[in-house]
Amino acid sequence: MKAVLLRRFGGPDVLETVDLPRPTPGPGEVRIRVRAAGVNFAETLMRENRYALTPPLPAVLGSEVAGEVEAVGAGVEVAIGARVIAPLFAAGLFFGGYAEEVVAPADWLVPIPDGIDFDTATALTVQGTTAALLLERAPVAGRTVLVDAAAGGVGSLLSQLARRAGAARVIAAAGSPEKRAFALALGADAAIDYGAEDWSEAVRAANGGAGPEVIFDSVGGRITEDCLALLAPLGQMVIFGALNIQSFGLGVAELTRLIFANQSVTGFAAAPLLTPDRCRALLADLFALVVAGDLKVTIGAVHPLAEAGAAHAALEGRRTIGKIVLRP
């Protein structure tokens, strides 16, 4: 079977399409014929060995797939042909997805209902559950919300779900006019260019002069510092991105503001919050919203497996919107 292999860390061109032996499911496992393998931003950093977790080389990246069960190991009762998601990341398996066939633990499978295609299913797996769980960690009802990278995979779902959760105002921050137009089309109240020097002022101007009460930041560096300074009194900022590994100022001045403004900064990682049942329940809710037309999933691009490098280049080059999918 074909798979995308990482033999050494580096730029997008180190991703090679190779033939690997077809994997055999062991007891409690299934083999899935992959129809859609999700690409996530964290994988671009894993490829460069800049992520919190170092891939054991050689590695096949990819932490979520959707497809059909084509073989089962001992003790597994899942039907051959069943349409499923394997949320590998939630099972603590952050690798293996960029392949034609993937072996996954049967107890983590999530059935895909009628009306949901494989691309949409992958878009909701890492990014959808992340958006839903972020809103549990930081309730937004009646509060003003700033979403960074709002046109991305997580951001485009998070902005919509924040609105549904009763946010008083959703402000989208994004890097290009096209992305800001997209965020507004998804229902954001305002869209701000956070590449501009004076972007904090633009956020306040879009929010009646005040800072946002909840901020979801995945960008890191200067943007994280600006977000901390923007946060309203009693506000909550959630830091959840791969790029938040960059250091930012949290010295006496920042801590004093945090203390006297009664603010909180919350770290967030989706995988440790998920169990198989929790994952199925969250995805069932997300599927229902999509089928009802209440949540829009945008597939920004679908690439053949052999173009995994191009998919990474587009993602890290900030040229994508919504979900990026590999089609084996």
Ligand X SMILES: NC(=O)c1ccc[n+]([C@@H]2O[C@H](COP(=O)([O-])OP(=O)(O)OC[C@H]3O[C@@H](n4cnc5c(N)ncnc54)[C@H](OP(=O)(O)O)[C@@H]3O)[C@@H](O)[C@H]2O)c1
Binding residues for ligand X (CB under 6 A): 40-42, 126-127, 130, 149, 151-155, 174-176, 179, 218-219, 240-243, 268-270, 315-316, 318, 320
Taking the complex as a whole, how short is the minimal distance between the CB of residue 194 and ligand X, in angstroms?
7
Q: Which of residues 40 and 159 has its CB atom nearest to ligand X in the complex?
A: 40
Taking the complex as a whole, how short is the minimal distance between the CB of residue 18 and ligand X, in angstroms?
25
User: How far, in Å, CA of 278 to CA of 273, rounded?
Assistant: 8
Cα 187–Cα 193–Cα 194 angle in degrees, nearest 5: 115
In the bound state, the residue with its beta carbon closest to ligand X is 152
Taking the complex as a whole, how short is the minimal distance between the CB of residue 145 and ligand X, in angstroms?
16
Q: Which of residues 210 and 273 has its CB atom nearest to ligand X in the complex?
A: 273
Q: Which of residues 280 and 318 has its CB atom nearest to ligand X in the complex?
A: 318
Q: Report in angstroms the alpha-carbon separations of 221 from 87, 227, 239, 243.
A: 29, 10, 11, 8
Taking the complex as a whole, how short is the minimal distance between the CB of residue 165 and ligand X, in angstroms?
18
Q: Which of residues 45 and 69 has its CB atom nearest to ligand X in the complex?
A: 45
124: which DSSP letter? Answer: I
Taking the complex as a whole, how short is the minimal distance between the CB of residue 154 and ligand X, in angstroms?
4
Q: At what angle do helices 153-164 and 177-185 cross, to 10 degrees?
A: 30
User: How far, in Å, CA of 59 to CA of 56, rounded?
Assistant: 6
Taking the complex as a whole, how short is the minimal distance between the CB of residue 244 and ligand X, in angstroms?
7
Q: Report in angstroms the alpha-carbon separations of 220 from 46, 245, 324.
A: 17, 7, 22
User: How far, in Å, CA of 2 to CA of 21, rounded?
Assistant: 9
Q: Is 151 within 8 Å of 172 (Cβ atoms)? A: yes
Read off the tokens for 87. Answer: 């949320």
Q: Which of residues 97 and 241 has its CB atom nearest to ligand X in the complex?
A: 241
Q: Which of residues 76 and 135 has its CB atom nearest to ligand X in the complex?
A: 135
